[in-house]
Chain A
Amino acid sequence: MADFGGTDLEAFRAEVRAFVEANFPASLKGKNPMMREERAKPTPDMEAWRKAVGERGWGTPTWPKQYGGGGLSPAEARVIQGEFARAGAYNPIGGMGVMMFGPTLLEYGNEAQKAEHIPPICRGDIQWCQGFSEPGAGSDLASLATKCEDKGDHYEINGSKIWTSGAQWADWCFCLVRTDTSKKHEGISFVLFTMHQPGVEVRPIPLIAGSSPFCETFFTDARAEKKDLVGPLNGGWTIAKRLLQHERSGLTGAGGSGMAGGAKSLEDMAKDYVGVDEQGRIDDQDLRMRIARNAMDWRAFQQTAMRVMSESKGNSGPSTASSILKNAGTQLMQEKHELALEVMGHQGLGWEGEAFKPEELAAVRGWLFGKAFTIYGGSQEVQSNIVSKRILGLPDLTQSK
């Protein structure tokens, strides 16, 4: 790897800046369609931006170049992030493939699997969904029952998954299946298959926030190719746990952006909606103190995230501290959503219509969707169990892993 003296980085920064200037469509400035349903129906500008970034592998900057990644250092990746942010540009390469599946496959996949599945993720051509949870297997994920049978030249899958985010827009699924009913954790395998086949049916489930970003997913004699078994047969649990670690650190990272109420800070919003006293303080002492506490906790959280990053020197993968980061970060985010709603008062209760500003409606929807942060990717309780057991060395009363 190159020496990251300032000059190299500055040259790289200039290169990224020029690229963004040349390729980022002005119509997308300040927007982030990645988290929304509109990603499923991209505009020509969105497509152009995705292709430009995808071609260079800059959406997955630290992934190996041989599989379509950027092959860059973490420092260079931060330069890209910084330059995108500066220009009001989003990273058009995202989703579960980037956040959790890709890193896991890079670690556990064989050469052929990496060569086939990683490049389309880097280009943003293929979207992945996560077929883990089932109606009877949520926190107790290892009790999953979706059956997978060896049919000689392929696997056949029967059963159903639930809460499958984005299944209605996904091209492929990474799925946990039962390949041995006589054992719990050691009877689970990790397989990949296309969602575009007759044996797969998805039914979107409306959320309390109004949209339907997740689904019930049914498999009736669905087919997975033999080559798409990741890791050994019945060896899927280890891989799943690794993937969940990536999911958790990804969810935590999401905390820095996408806060309720758009670009304006909570304290500035509070000044607008609540008013200020003669000294410029938010004119509701109780609310003001709670906003300050959230802001201070948030800083401590960010300091912790930075410390974890420097301690792991950026190259040993997610550390055990990712467990505390998920709970700490998601709770602070939820608290902030609640505060945003309270700041807006009556205006923070709207569902739709012209009586409310777009950012007010977005705050309400964001607050509602945010309730999922402490449920998915391992609930807050499951995270606390993991911390108690793994880090604090306390005994376990369940078989959670």
Chain B
Amino acid sequence: MAVLTEEQSMLRDAAKSWVQEKSPVTAFRKMRDSGAELGYDAAAWNEMAEMGWAGVIIPEEYGGSDFGYLSLGLILEETGRTLTASPLLASALGAASALVLGGSDAQKQAWLPKIAEGSAVATLAVDEGPHHAPDKVATTVAGGKLSGRKVFVLEGMAADVFVVSAKAGDAIELYLVKADAPGVSRQRLSLADSRGAANVTFENVAVSDADKLSGGSALLEKTLDRARAGISAEMLGAALQAFEVTLDYLKTRVQFGQVIGSFQALQHRAAKMFTELELSRSAVEAALTAIDNDAPDVPELVSLAKAKMGDTFHLVSNEMVQMHGGIGMTDAHDAGFYLKRARAAEAAFGNQAYHRDRYARLQGY
């Protein structure tokens, strides 16, 4: 565990107790069963925002606390444990990063305070095909009109504003597009992990220079790296919880007159998972810390964190089902939730293969 400041420790402890009391996995299950259109519980999101969690990376002058990415990562780790679904990742981390890094004062004034208080949801609309490919952009801006189609937009149904990547001439730029702007339509996605997402179509949506963020493709990559590190922190929490629940089962389920955890075939795999989780924590914390320090090696550290965390969550979620036997296959058990969340999180903002390739490229091979 990284060395935390007093503020960070307090934040983490507050997150831990709120999540356990107010947002256990049963809350996620209830949300899933209700078929909630947004893919999250709005009342819970309000509580999270009231505690200031939506403003952790937002500067104080725009209504945030400016505690930084490691701090937000601590919260995401806790919410990840119980699979809490909320716009924390998409809005308070992803889209907020784009505004903080590339917004004009007016743009920041318009959106950041609302994002920080949770009254507006913003999200990144980047991918256009089945795989994360931020440099493949067919969405265009020409003659003041933005047109294109974005897929798998997290919290796309809840969003008040999209941060849309689009080609203006040869350059990739980011634009703020309001969800209620004429020409915007969205299709809700019913995903295996029950989280909120949408495909969003933009048809000749009017945009001006006032809607453009500054920074182009460099801003996009910086923003994505923040989102990737954030989702990695959330995955860390989920994988830890999946592991702990499984470990508990190994200590209680009896077959052949002994707890199944006495079988070395399972012990060694538990030890392996523990090892991978420790390695993953280091990678995730290093990425978040590098972002806070604005270090030059953010991209490679982020790719390391996302790839490592993806492999670990993949492993742990599979083992959770396998080691639970029949009960792990039932919908009434939580194992399936972790399995589904794992694959969705792996695919978001680039899967392991994407980030291994990116890492190698960044290292020059």
Contact = CB atoms under 8 A, between A and B. Distances in A.
Given A274-B131, A346-B130, A368-B336, A284 B187 contact: no
A379 interface: yes
A205 B357 contact: no
Contacts of A136: 254
22 contacts: A133-B326, A140-B257, A206-B332, A207-B330, A207-B331, A274-B131, A285-B357, A286-B356, A286-B357, A287-B353, A342-B347, A345-B351, A349-B152, A349-B347, A350-B189, A351-B190, A353-B189, A355-B187, A371-B329, A375-B326, A375-B329, A384-B265
Contacts of A273: 130-131
B19 to A, nearest CB: 23
Interface string A328-345: 000000000000011011
A66 interface: no
A372 B329 contact: yes
A168 B332 CA distance: 19
A352 interface: yes
A375 B322 contact: yes
Contacts of A304: none
Interface in B8-53: none
A394 to B, nearest CB: 12
Contacts of B205: none
Given A138-B255, A344-B130, A371-B321, A208 B193 contact: no
A162 B333 CA distance: 15
Contacts of B194: 351
Interface in A292-338: none
A398 B131 CA distance: 47
A234 interface: no
A346 B318 contact: no
A210 B191 CA distance: 13
Contacts of B352: 286
A163 interface: yes
Q: Which 4 A-B pairs have the closest CB atoms?
A: A208-B336, A345-B130, A286-B353, A346-B152
Nearest to A142: B256
Interface string B298-342: 000000000000000000001001100110111110011001100
Interface of B: 127, 129-132, 151-152, 187-194, 199, 254-258, 260, 263, 265-266, 318, 321-322, 325-326, 328-332, 335-336, 339-340, 343-344, 347, 351-354, 356-357
Contacts of A210: 331
A400 interface: yes
Contact-residue size bin, chain A (C-beta under 8 Å from the other chain): 35 or more
B127 A208 contact: no
A230 to B, nearest CB: 25
Nearest to A372: B329
B329 A208 contact: yes
Contact of A349 (B187, B329, B343): B343
B183 to A, nearest CB: 20
A374 interface: yes
B192 A364 contact: yes
Contacts of A351: 190-192, 194
A347 interface: yes
A210 B190 CA distance: 13
A381 B265 contact: yes
A249 interface: no
Contacts of A349: 152, 191-193, 343-344, 347
A348 B347 CA distance: 9
A146 interface: no
Given A139-B255, A139-B256, A346-B151, A374 B326 contact: no
A264 to B, nearest CB: 15
Given A143-B256, A350-B191, A381-B263, 19 more contacts: A133-B326, A140-B255, A163-B326, A205-B331, A205-B332, A208-B339, A284-B131, A345-B130, A345-B132, A346-B127, A348-B343, A349-B191, A350-B189, A353-B190, A355-B189, A368-B339, A371-B318, A371-B329, A398-B256
Contacts of B127: 346
Given A138-B325, A349-B193, A342 B351 contact: yes
A380 B344 contact: no
A371 B352 CA distance: 21
Contact of A381 (B129, B266, B332, B347): B266
Nearest to A379: B325
A134 B339 CA distance: 25
Nearest to A136: B254
Nearest to B258: A398
B336 A346 contact: no
Contacts of A347: 130
A293 to B, nearest CB: 14
Nearest to A399: B256
Nearest to A376: B326
Among B188, B192, B330, max chain A CB count under 10 A is at: B192
Nearest to A208: B336
B250 to A, nearest CB: 12
B336 A284 contact: no
Interface in A348-376: 348-355, 364, 368, 371-372, 374-376
A136 B265 CA distance: 20
Contact of A205 (B131, B328, B330): B330
A299 B356 CA distance: 28
A140 B191 contact: no
Nearest to B266: A381
A316 B353 CA distance: 46
A140 B192 CA distance: 33
A397 B256 CA distance: 10
A274 B132 CA distance: 10
A346 B332 CA distance: 26
A329 to B, nearest CB: 16
Given A208-B329, A287-B353, A346-B347, A380 B191 contact: no
A207 B325 contact: no
Contacts of B329: 207-208, 371-372, 375
Contacts of A208: 321, 329-331, 335-336, 339-340
A136 B255 CA distance: 7
B356 A374 contact: no
Among B131, B132, B193, B263, max chain A CB count under 10 A is at: B131
Nearest to B323: A381
A400 B328 CA distance: 22
